[in-house]
Chain A
Amino acid sequence: MLKSLPDSKKVDLWIRASGKALLWGMSLVGIFFLYLPIVILVIYSFNESKINAVWRGFTLQWYQSLFEGLTVGSDISNVLIWDALKNSLIVGFISTGVATILGTMIGLAMERFHFRGRTVIEGLLFLPIIIPDITMGIALLVFFSLVFQLLESLTGMRLVLGLPTVIIGHIAFNISYVAVVVRSRIADLDPTLEEAALDLGANEWKSFWRITLPLIYPGILSGALLAFTLSLDDFVITFFTAGVGATTLPVFVYGMIKVSVTPAINAISTIMLFASLIIVVLSFSLQRH
């Protein structure tokens, strides 16, 4: 059968078959590459052995050790894991809340507002997402030290880095993410709906509260969830803007790994992984509605 086919067809069939095989092979490699590390992480978080790579039986003791309170750092400045978690949640909630309100307002303002050079402004909105975290961290660090110096010379107040500076930094990058998500939602919005409300006698304020806001609400919520995960997961910007005592969970984990990789780290990472996963799945399913 194959012999009766012209050569080019034969080559083609061969390419198709090998393409299919390659696709499957690649999927396997991809899954191996991507998932095996994560699976191993999760499995070893239940491993009784203290050393990774040896399986000694199932245990929940590493999770338990987290609940009993784990510390990292030198003898002088011990940081409890609960403090780190508390800091992470404080930063996450406040920065998400503020960034959601501001980002939504920017999204609305830019959609309604037509002016020259709008593309440039739109590009500027995207830029904080794309610039390296480490440069954002340095920029914030330089900025805060300048502000602190100015304040000290003007009023004599001495300020240091801490949770408030972390929150200010997180708001700065979260605004962009929320604004981008909300804008894409507003762009899909039918402008005639709002016009209809205005025609029917609602004022601007009323039509915003009763028509626009309920319609873009899923976009706002998914933007907020995205911002919350980013804020919880951020290491680099937090590291540069946090002073002593403002350790968040990723900074805590980083500090622990630098000492040695213990099963407790596997346990924390597993929990963080699933927490992010749940929030993002929630966010995507909201966006689809």
Chain B
Amino acid sequence: MKEKNWVEKTVFWSPVSWQAVFTGLMFFYMYLPILVLTVYSFNESAYSAGWEGFTLQWYGKLWEDGRILRSLENSLVVAVTAVGVSAVLGTMMAVGLAKYSFRGKTLYRGVSYLPLIVPDIAIAVSTLIFLAVLGIQLSLWTIVAAHIVFCLAYVAIVVSSRLSSLDPHLEEAALDLGATPTQAFLKVLLPELSPAILAGCLLSFVLSMDDFLIASFTAGTGATTLPMEIFSRIRTGVKPDINALSVLLILASGLVAFVAEYVRYRGEKRQMQ
């Protein structure tokens, strides 16, 4: 009896519960590689695993590296264009799916989410063959076209989930009060949807910036994106400047995702009130 009390005390009443210990351990496991990467990006030694002092030179070197800057520029062009097109088309797709009912709507809806499910390598191979069949020359714009496919699906998903939680009476009320359908869409529906559109855009922006596989198959010569540049450098061994670049990419992705989630959360909260 006494022993059971002791167990109960330590397991359920100790100041540090098993949940905290376990969660801590798991996060340690998940983040240890990233932590090591971050530490080494500040290491003065270029080759050895030994610690030779703190430096910011690897971060500084990135700004002088023309190839990295050019590939960053390519990545940004691809991501901004793909996201811009997807934002318009994806929103229209979500609104259209919510408003009109037509035969095969469920199929169409399921089909529009397919890019999220299909393995990247299958998308890459099929796009490559498709472009070859059409005889289209690979360039930066073929990457944009391939990225629109999956960005569109993400924007559409985020916007539709927001649409389904919206009060349909709002738009009807606007119409009753004399607004034209266009006015009702622009002044009532769009402002309500804008946090979701923005969140969807940010999410697909991150995904587009991060994609390696699809870009590497659809890129023409000279159209190197940032992940492709990193990939080609890594094959000859990990250099500290790539560590620094990776840390920056993790921070940037995390930041964009955080802003997206925050925008979405704020939008939902405003709607609750």
Contact of A41 with B31 at beta-carbon distance under 8 Å, contacts A132-B227, A134-B227, A135-B246 already known: no
B189 within 8 A of A: no
Q: Which of B49, B122, B129, B250 contacts A132 (CB 8 A)?
A: B250
Contact of A273 with B118 at beta-carbon distance under 8 Å, contacts A31-B111, A41-B125, A139-B37 already known: yes
The answer on a CB contact under 8 Å between A133 and B210 is yes
The answer on a CB contact under 8 Å between B120 and A235 is yes
Q: B19 contacts which chain A residues (CB < 8 A)?
A: 108-110, 112-113
Q: How many angstroms from the CA of A112 to the CA of B23 in the assembled complex? A: 12
Binds A, one of B55-63, B64-72, B144-152: B144-152
Q: How many angstroms from the CA of A8 to the CA of B182 in the assembled complex? A: 10
Q: A140 contacts which chain B residues (CB < 8 A)?
A: 33
Interface residues of B in 240-273 (CB under 8 A from A): 242-243, 246-247, 249-250, 253-254, 257-258, 261
The answer on a CB contact under 8 Å between A52 and B129 is yes
Find the B residue at minimum CB distance from A110. Answer: B23
* Residue in B36, B108, B217 with the greatest tally of chain A CB atoms within 10 Å: B36
Interface SS, A side: helix
The answer on a CB contact under 8 Å between A41 and B126 is yes
Q: How many angstroms from the CA of A140 to the CA of B18 in the assembled complex? A: 28
Q: B254 contacts which chain A residues (CB < 8 A)?
A: 123, 127, 130-131
Binds B, one of A59-67, A187-195, A213-221, A253-261: A253-261
Q: Which of A110, A172, A175 contacts B33 (CB 8 A)?
A: A172
B173 within 8 A of A: no
Binds A, one of B89-97, B162-170, B190-198: B89-97
State the Cβ distance, B175 to closest chain A Cβ, in Å: 11
A266 within 8 A of B: yes
A126 within 8 A of B: yes
B74 within 8 A of A: no
The answer on a CB contact under 8 Å between A30 and B125 is no
Q: How many angstroms from the CA of A31 to the CA of B93 in the assembled complex? A: 12
Contact of A37 with B217 at beta-carbon distance under 8 Å, contacts A143-B32, A146-B36, A273-B122 already known: no
- Tell me how many residue pairs across A and B have CB atoms closer than 8 Å: 216
Q: B40 contacts which chain A residues (CB < 8 A)?
A: 142, 146
Q: How large is the interface on A (under 10, 10 to 19, 20 to 34, 35 or more residues)?
A: 35 or more
State the Cβ distance, A206 to closest chain B Cβ, in Å: 15
A16 within 8 A of B: yes
Q: Which of A22, A27, A145 contacts B49 (CB 8 A)?
A: A145
The answer on a CB contact under 8 Å between B250 and A40 is no
Q: How many angstroms from the CA of A229 to the CA of B118 in the assembled complex? A: 10
B112 within 8 A of A: yes
The answer on a CB contact under 8 Å between B115 and A34 is yes
Q: A31 contacts which chain B residues (CB < 8 A)?
A: 111
The answer on a CB contact under 8 Å between A40 and B17 is no
A89 within 8 A of B: no
Q: How many angstroms from the CA of A93 to the CA of B54 in the assembled complex? A: 41
The answer on a CB contact under 8 Å between A176 and B22 is no
A196 within 8 A of B: no
**Known pairs A40-B126, A136-B34, A257-B125 / 19 extra A-B pairs, C-beta < 8 Å:** A20-B100, A23-B100, A34-B114, A38-B118, A41-B126, A52-B129, A110-B23, A126-B261, A127-B254, A132-B250, A138-B230, A139-B33, A139-B34, A143-B36, A172-B29, A176-B30, A236-B212, A250-B119, A257-B217
Shortest Cβ-Cβ A-B pairs, 6 listed? A37-B130, A109-B19, A132-B210, A143-B33, A233-B119, A37-B126
